[in-house]
């Protein structure tokens, strides 16, 4: 039970760090989520929608900045390159098959043409 009280106090301290007029400017669902402990920082897109004077009063420690996951981006880049390489390999393989088949048909037609 003590742990629950500590967690509630910690989450409530997040909303208490903000000046009252800043809390009034925040959307109700964000304030509720902060109080309930669903989120512990204010999303950056919510901060961007606030007036400049209010944005400056929100501490940076309470803003959840978006960040790029470079590992995931690198993984997606590798998968994309492999997909393109597979596509090119498949097209080239089909082109070779079509060329060989056309060559066999042409050779057979040439042979049969001169047999007459």
- Residue-range domain boundaries for the chain: 2-64, 68-116
Entry pTM: 0.44
| Cα separations in angstroms, 1 against 4, 5, 7, 8, 21 | 5, 6, 10, 11, 33
The structure tokens 């003590």 sit at: 2
pLDDT tens digit sequence for 32-73: 888 887 887 777 788 788 888 777 777 777 777 766 688 898
């Amino acid at each position: 039970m003590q742990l629950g009280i500590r967690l509630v106090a910690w989450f409530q301290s997040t909303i208490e760090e903000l000046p009252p007029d800043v809390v009034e400017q925040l959307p109700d669902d964000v304030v509720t989520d902060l109080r309930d402990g669903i989120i512990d920082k204010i999303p950056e897109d919510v901060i961007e929608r606030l007036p400049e004077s209010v944005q400056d009063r929100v501490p940076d420690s309470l803003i959840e900045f978006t960040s790029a996951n470079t590992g995931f981006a690198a993984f997606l880049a590798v998968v994309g390159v492999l997909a393109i390489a597979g596509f090119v390999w498949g097209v080239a393989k089909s082109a070779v098959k079509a060329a060989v088949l056309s060559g066999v048909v042409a050779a057979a037609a040439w042979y049969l043409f001169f047999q007459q």
